[in-house]
Amino acid sequence: MQDNIPRGRETDLLVSGQGSRDPPVPDLARALEQKLALLHEVDHRVKNNLQLITSLLKLQARRSCDPAVKLALTGAQQRVSAVATVHRRLFRGEEVERFDVAAFVEDLVDDVIGGAGRGDIQVRLNLEPVDLPATQAAPLALLISELLVNAVRHAFPNGRSGLISISVGRDADGLRVEIADNGVGMGTPAAAPGFGGTIVTLLSGQLGARRETIDADPGVRTVIRLPVNGRP
Amino acid sequence: MASCDPLNILIVEDEVLLAAELGYLIGEVGCIEVGHAMTSQEAVALARKLRPDLALVDVHLGDGPTGIDVARCIARDCGGVALFMTANVRRLPDDFAGACGVIGKPYSEHGVKMALVYLDACLRDGRAPGLPPAGLQLAPLWAELWGVHDMPRSA
């Protein structure tokens, strides 16, 4: 990967910035320009590395003959892809510190439903744009991805068709995300939660989110409520 | 190009693991990978020799940020169309160096496949089958040429 940051400028900046007769404004402008270039370079590398990691996991999943290994690698790839989807959106506009949950869900649904080859599952989206601090983006993205992938995998077995509805909006608590399906329902709870379930529990805790999963008969409905900007 | 021939695609990418995975995706949508180049010189030589229908071009190659020149060269004298695949969508020139569009990295498997199917139809019919799929941004010139009048998303 080529480094296109003009390295020579760093020294120029230090020398001319202190005690020289140069007017200070061009230096500030140059420092700002340099900071922006560095930020873009880091962003570029993060995006490329995420691409590299997902391609690596996918290649290994393709190579493995054991179905359990293949499933585990595909699961890991899917989770890294959810984080990658967040980064694809960051830095596209001028906004770098906020993250639009609704736009993310649109991308995610496209990738998960399309990637699963389940054209028989319909998706209904009810999305209001809601901005979150970018620092919360990855855990929330993973949480939503887990719930969606879980619904796609388990709600409609044996070629059963159905509907998944996702809504994103604000309520008195802050952010409200609802994921519902009209599939086979929860059934008998497993003896121990799977890895997906563990991720959901851990990330809900990390985000300070309240999570409610009910047997909606038919299907399952999960609602996540997340305080936004320090509000309850 | 005969109407039922699969699309011939050249991969121009200096990360070999990305290129390997792209090769699989190309095969899975029924297209053919005709070659893989890692530098601009290789890319131009292969494009001249193989005359691919489509070249997937990363901006940063083994010899620097030369992907833009590769795209310009392919558009000008190789008879094919380039598509950028880059993490640096904002650095592309306004005219896309003659390329038909860009897929931003990190891309998804599904996003790449849908983009290839869509471009296959565009190149075959000279007209877009609809709005471009999520993840694919068309160059203004090609969007106009293929009859896509309102662009759904911007950089």
pLDDT tens profile B14-29? 999 999 999 999 999 9
pLDDT at B149: 76
The secondary element (H helix, E strand) that includes residue B10 is strand B8-12
Q: Where are the domains of chain B?
A: 8-145
**Is residue A1 predicted with pLDDT exceeding 50?**
no
**Mean pLDDT, rounded, for B31-54:** 97
pLDDT at A90: 77
CB contact under 8 A, B18 and A92: no
**Mean pLDDT, rounded, for B46-55:** 96
Q: Note whether B2 contacts A: Cβ–Cβ < 8 A.
A: no
**Residue contacts between A and B (CB atoms, under 8 Å):** 85
**Is residue B62 predicted with pLDDT exceeding 90?**
yes
CA distance A7 to B79: 38
Level-2 CATH architecture, domain B8-145:
3-Layer(aba) Sandwich (3.40)
How many Cβ atoms from other residues are within 10 Å of residue A18's Cβ? 8
Instruction: Tell me the nearest-neighbour CA distance from A117 into chain B, angstroms.
Output: 9
pLDDT at A94: 61
- Better pLDDT: B124 or B78: B124
**Is residue A185 predicted with pLDDT exceeding 90?**
no
The percent of residues above 90 in pLDDT, for chain A, comes to: 54
pLDDT at A3: 47
pLDDT band at B91 (very low <50, low <70, confident <90, very high): confident
- Better pLDDT: A190 or A135: A135
**Mean pLDDT, rounded, for B27-37:** 97
Name the average pLDDT for chain B: 92
pLDDT at B3: 52
Contact B28, B6 (CB under 8 A): no
0.85 surpassed by complex ipTM: yes
CA distance A51 to A57: 10
CB contact under 8 A, B106 and A92: no
Q: Name the residue of chain B whose CA is nearest to A94's CA.
A: B155
CB contact under 8 A, B106 and A44: no
pLDDT at B20: 97
pLDDT at A17: 46
Contact A50, A141 (CB under 8 A): no
pLDDT band at A19 (very low <50, low <70, confident <90, very high): low
CB contact under 8 A, B110 and A110: yes
Q: Which residues of A touch B90 (CB under 8 A)?
A: 40, 91-92
**Is residue B151 predicted with pLDDT exceeding 70?**
no
- pTM over 0.95? The answer is no
First-to-final CA distance of chain A: 45
Q: Name the residue of chain B whose CA is nearest to A83's CA.
A: B106
